[in-house]
A and B are shown apart, each in its own frame.
Chain A
Amino acid sequence: MSGTSGGLGGLYQEVILDLARHPHAKGLEDGAAASSHQVNPTCGDEVTLQLHVADGRIDRVRWDGDGCAISQSSASILADLAPGLGLEDLQVRIDAFRTAMRSKGRIEPDEDLLGDAVVLGGVSRYTARVKCAMLAWVAAEAALRSL
């Protein structure tokens, strides 16, 4: 990409920029089994995330919010990943994502487990941005707990 400067390409992969411009599963829908609203107080980013559940599995995730490219793309990626997962499986993925994000670049996200979320792997080297990437996942975790 033209204009990519220095190590930024590792943070802002094309997928991330694209999802920030064209989010997936954005917009809340009636009938959610659980939802959670999370705010990042340092920047005012916010996300409301819904879990729609059918037969004990995640049917779909819907979300709404405002924020940076990292937080917005991360919500879209989670919404792509979650459908079909059992509730405990989703928690396993949230834990794995958190571990990778907090690793300061030492642990690459496991693609088998986290799918497209691997594109967010570069975020873990930018400690100030980890909360951005985690925002939707923290919301999903809080929603799971309320089920």
Chain B
Amino acid sequence: MPVAQGTRPRPAETALSDDEVRALRADFPILADERLVYLDSGATSQKPRAVLDAERAYLEHENAAVHRGAHTLAAEATERFEDARATVAEFIGADEDEVSWTLNATAALNTVAGAIGHASAGRGGAEADRFRLRAGDEIVVTELEHHANLIPWQELAARTGATLRFVPIDDDGALRMEEAERVIGSATRIVAFSHVSNVLGGALPVAELVGLAQRVGALTVLDACQSVPHLPVDVRALGVDLAAFSGHKMLGPTGIGVLYGRRELLNALPPFLTGGSMITTVTMEAAEYLPAPQRFEAGTQPVAQAIGLAAAARYLDAVGMDRIAAHEAELGARLAEGLAAIDGVRLLGPAAGAPRVGLASFVVAGVHAHDVGQFLDDRGIAVRVGHHCAQPLHRRLGVTASTRASTALYTTRQEVDVLLEGVRDAVRFFGVAA
């Protein structure tokens, strides 16, 4: 799969040197444990001191309710909270009013699907007409989606009478683009897809999918969870209408995610969650709503987490996303080549040598992923095992579970080699040849 436009590391960008990675690792307290070989950053990343300190400093010196109250502390807290939004918006090439905080990426995707559901039930006035789904309309996803970018659309289709369709993948996990051209048609209203597969590690052809969607006037929704932490991402350059990602996978705290949307879309979508802080006027009968981003931020927000996430974005930016992408592309290639060379191991996704981020899932013939993971864990190697919230993808590839190793900017080449040795030994231990 080609790496999508605007995300490929420029040739001039060099990967991080071993010394540079060692220096970065010193910023991550948990990595001081030399026994730990953490290869599960695709599930959640570790956190640098800068993020932990930012949260603590806010809570120790500036904590107050934001966007309410008139005292000095509240004003300062509000300013910090909005500064955090501006930082994260800039990190992805958006304006600050195009970034709404959510609990996580799952919540962001559910916010979009839920808001479209509300629009389809008649909420949102004339402005929301464009979002209304009815029987005969189609929502298109891909066969490789994480459950978070599949189930909300299943539910939306069930509620509105729309039909959910999907773009199939081939045996290597690549999207069948000739099928995409067939599936995305005049009835398509929404096209939702991942930027980078959380199982396969390859990037989807975003520009082509956006082109197909725009040709028929469909909304595009991007699950950017596995790209924003690892690649330079510019949402405007990608041309998507809406995007979701989580904080905890990009060195930030848990409990915070981002919903990006083009300004005019966010302001036309009806709110999903309603309540305090997202209104202008409320009577006993009805309410009027603030524009985005507050429109989608009902109730008390995760303020310390937002500030922590901004610190994470600054940390990544200081290292340089181009360089991080180059480093992780190298690690991904090392992983893929190493795994593919082991007898009895099937590498899922792009073949060794094809572009991928620092993430590779694999299956050891005759050995369940849980057993592989247990064997590796005994050596301090942390990997993900199971279906990685992508059951239909695994079913399509003919397996129930896989083992996934995933990197971040702090991952070393040596860690990849330790994993490869561990997998070779696991193959022997479980007696695959038998």
Contacts and interface: CB of A to CB of B under 8 A. Distances in A.
B428 interface: yes
Given A3-B429, A21-B434, A8 B394 contact: no
B391 interface: yes
Contact of B425 (A5, A42, A43, A72): A5
A44 B430 contact: no
B108 to A, nearest CB: 24
Contacts of B368: 43, 45, 66-69, 71-72
Contact of B374 (A2, A20, A71, A126): A126
Contacts of B228: none
Size class of the contact patch on chain A: 20 to 34
Interface stretch (B213-221, B378-386, B410-418): B378-386
A43 B385 contact: yes
Contacts of A69: 367-368, 371, 430
B378 A8 contact: yes
A43 B374 contact: no
| A7, A11, A68 interface centre (most CB from chain B within 10 Å) | A68
A42 B391 CA distance: 11
B5 interface: no
Contact of A6 (B378, B385, B434): B378
B375 A132 contact: no
A43 B378 contact: no
Contact of B429 (A4, A42, A132): A4
B428 A129 contact: no
B400 A8 contact: no
A17 interface: yes
A43 B379 contact: no
Nearest to B434: A21
Contacts of A68: 368-371
A139 B428 CA distance: 32
Contacts of A7: 378
B146 interface: no
B118 interface: no
A56 B430 CA distance: 39
B198 to A, nearest CB: 16
Contact of B387 (A1, A43, A129): A43
A44 B378 contact: no
B379 A6 contact: yes
Contact of B391 (A21, A44, A126): A44
Nearest to A46: B400
Contacts of A42: 386
Contacts of B425: 3, 5
B352 to A, nearest CB: 25
Contacts of B371: 12, 20, 68-70
A71 B385 CA distance: 15
Nearest to A72: B368
Contacts of B326: none
B52 to A, nearest CB: 27
A42 B147 CA distance: 13
A43 B327 CA distance: 31
Interface of B: 366-371, 374-375, 378-379, 385-387, 391, 394, 400-401, 425, 428-431, 434
16 contacts: A3-B425, A11-B374, A12-B429, A21-B431, A42-B386, A43-B368, A43-B401, A44-B401, A46-B400, A66-B400, A67-B368, A68-B368, A68-B369, A69-B367, A129-B374, A132-B370
8 tightest A-B contacts by CB? A68-B368, A68-B370, A44-B400, A3-B429, A43-B386, A8-B378, A6-B378, A69-B371
Given A43-B369, A67-B370, A70-B370, 6 more contacts: A3-B428, A5-B425, A17-B430, A43-B401, A67-B368, A69-B367
